[in-house]
Amino acid sequence: MIVDALYKSSRNVFWAAFIVIAAGAFVRVTGSGLGCPDWPKCFGAWVPPIDATQLPEGFDRLKFNAIQTWTEYLNRLVGAAFGLFVLRLLFISWRHRHVGVLSFGLSLTLFFVTGFQAWLGGQVVAEELRGALVTAHFVFAFLILAVARLLMWLNTNTARGSGSNRMLLVCAVGLMILLLMQVFLGAHVRVHMEPILMEGLIPRQTWVNHLPEEDFWHRKIALLMLLISSAMLYVWRSAYFRGHIILLLVVVMTQSLLGMAMAYLSFNVVAQFLHVPFATGVFVAVLDLIVMSSSLRVKQL
């Protein structure tokens, strides 16, 4: 059964997750990941200092940078606000558990995964941004987003009854596999480039020459995704799914252009920042197509 309050609450969680992911990307490009050296507190306090003279004992004053500290602190506040949205969703789904047991199960899952994600965030800080942990943090953010999106689908009537489409489902699942490969390859590129970007010893104009081998495959898969999305648009040009496929193509194209802007414009920070929310956009567009083309949606999940 469809519950409007559940739809609205999961929609809030979904957009809040998008904002949390964008905030995380902002922290990354501004190099603020270690702006707070401890977790969950920041410099031993719930509200961090604004000046090095206010630092408590045991913290190195020379390493203090108020802008980075407050950037990371605001990111944590955004994460905490997200947690409240998840709690609200859990409460609403619990109240409607008799008519929406699956929604309740998914909300509960979301609650536990969010708790785990918060803990993982602490580990990322404790391990000083170790590449594998940052990537795991990224993947769990996608998982949270996916659960919130499924909850939205589960509680909406929008466009039901267009029927399943096995061929489209195969293409969408293929795209999802390619996207996940992009996440791992892209993360590899990031881990490789991070020290080069941070040290700043190599001139910006030559950074592109230091991209690792994985970058080659990252580009080839982007091209493949573009080709598949274009072919899908051709095949289903007059089908019900057309609008969604156009959207998918637009985000994949924008994402590829952002990648090129990064590679050829000395790792332009705006492109580097936008590359993460747009990767998220590709993920959601593909997920939507999977749900729409499978019989899952028709059976109300």
Is 222 among the residues that bind ligand HEM (CB under 6 A)? yes
d(CA 283, CA 54): 43
Is 138 among the residues that bind ligand HEM (CB under 6 A)? yes
d(CA 96, CA 156): 15
Q: Which of 76, 244, 275, 297 binds ligand HEM (CB under 6 A)?
A: 275
Is 202 among the residues that bind ligand HEM (CB under 6 A)? no
CB of 276 vs ligand HEM, minimal distance in Å: 5
d(CA 251, CA 234): 17
Name the residue nearer to ligand HEM (CB basis): 164 or 268.
268
| The one segment of 58-66, 84-92, 164-172, 185-193 that binds ligand HEM by CB under 6 A | 185-193
42 phi/psi in degrees, rounded to 5: -125, 115
Is 289 among the residues that bind ligand HEM (CB under 6 A)? no
DSSP assignment of 48-98, as one string?
--SSGGGPPTTS-GGG--HHHHHHHHHHHHHHHHHHHHHHHHHHHHHHTTT
Is 32 among the residues that bind ligand HEM (CB under 6 A)? no
Nearest to 171 by CA among 299, 289, 296: 289
CB of 92 vs ligand HEM, minimal distance in Å: 32
Say what angle helices 4-29 and 66-95 make with each other, to 10 degrees.
160
Q: Which of 117, 149, 169, 218 binds ligand HEM (CB under 6 A)?
A: 218
If phi over 0 gives left and psi between -120 and 50 gives alpha, with beta otherwise, what is residue 239? Answer: beta
Q: Which of 103, 182, 293, 294 binds ligand HEM (CB under 6 A)?
A: 182
Q: Are 145 and 18 in contact (CB under 8 A)?
A: yes
d(CA 240, CA 9): 27
Q: Which of residues 237-266 bind ligand HEM (CB under 6 A)?
A: 252, 255-256, 259-260, 262-263
Is 107 among the residues that bind ligand HEM (CB under 6 A)? no
Is 104 among the residues that bind ligand HEM (CB under 6 A)? no
Name the residue nearer to ligand HEM (CB basis): 84 or 202.
202
d(CA 270, CA 277): 11
Binding site residues, ligand HEM, CB under 6 A? 138, 179, 182-183, 186-187, 189-190, 193, 218-219, 222, 225, 252, 255-256, 259-260, 262-263, 272, 275-276, 279, 282
